[in-house]
Amino acid sequence: MTGVTETVRPSESYYHLHLVSDSTGETLISVGRAAAAQYDVKPIEHIYPLVRSHKQLDKVVQAIDEFPGIVLYTLTDPELRNRLKTYCRDHGVPVLSVLAPVVQLFQAYLGGAPEPRVGGQHQLDGDYFRRIDAMNFTVMHDDGQHVDGLEAADVVLLGISRSSKTPTSIYLANRGIKTANIPLVPSLPVPPGLAELKRPLIVGLLASADRVVEIRRNRLLGLNAAQAADTYTDRQAVAEEIAFSRRLCARHGWPMIDVTRRSIEETAAAIIALLQERRRKLTENPNG
């Protein structure tokens, strides 16, 4: 190992970001990407999940030595944690435990020392099985399937083709929210009984015509079906589909979310906020 004797500076175009976890690494990836998004320089990610032995840490240290950069970690084992910190300190590599400041805050407020648990957020508890149940429901009710079971949904998403219904549904399901999605086609009737649903929150997803056309064209190219485009990628036809969606949601008072410039995560966050507000109102006025 050559080692690094001073703080590493990124090149003009990239830098290395090492994410070391004794669990799945999801927390690190989220935190690392959220921080990296604040800068124009793009990171090259090196992700090391399930690091629970010195042999596994050997490979991590070797990679850091070869590609020095920022090191973020969540390691429960004190020996592994101290070894990584010592190596980085001795070689001038910036290193941080992303959970340590948060745990210290909890400890100061709650009192007592925490009980370290590897992958504690991934326990096979009630929340875990609730997410699995939601995922199964969502897959079964994707793209207008099994509309007879919509009353059991927490959320029903409506939208024309390529309005991010399926990825948003999957994201919500991973949060434990049973989500069905239904494609809207002006020439076809919506599922019978949709307007009479009581339990689920019904939300329309909208996007600009230009955005929908762009996604549809890319979709057709990926399927080698460019010649089958016809009205599917015609801007005027798409605009009419969007207008149909708007009229339908407005007629029934269903909230609409424009996803043109929203990520899946942002769209899901907006839906969750609507769902929480709806549940709060139902709790306060169950007969309303």
* Residues tagged in the binding site annotation: 159-166
Using DSSP, state whether 212 is helix, strand or coil: helix
Q: Which residues are annotated as a binding site for ADP?
A: 159-166
User: At 208, phi and psi to the nearest 5?
Assistant: -65, 155
Nearest to 21 by CA among 118, 94, 114: 118
Number of other residues whose CB lies within 10 A of the CB of residue 92: 13
Q: 184-193, long-range: CB within 8 Å, 24+ apart, which pairs?
A: 184/158, 184/159, 184/160, 184/241, 184/244, 184/245, 184/248, 185/160, 185/161, 185/241, 186/240, 186/241, 186/244, 190/158, 190/248, 191/144, 191/147, 191/150, 193/150
Q: Angle at CA 89, nearest 5°, toward 17 and 49?
A: 40
Using DSSP, state whether 2 is helix, strand or coil: coil
One-letter amino acid at 166 equals T
Q: How far is CA 130 from CA 36, 56, 96, 136, 209, in A?
A: 32, 33, 33, 10, 37
* Measured distance CA(275)–CA(279) in Å, rounded: 6
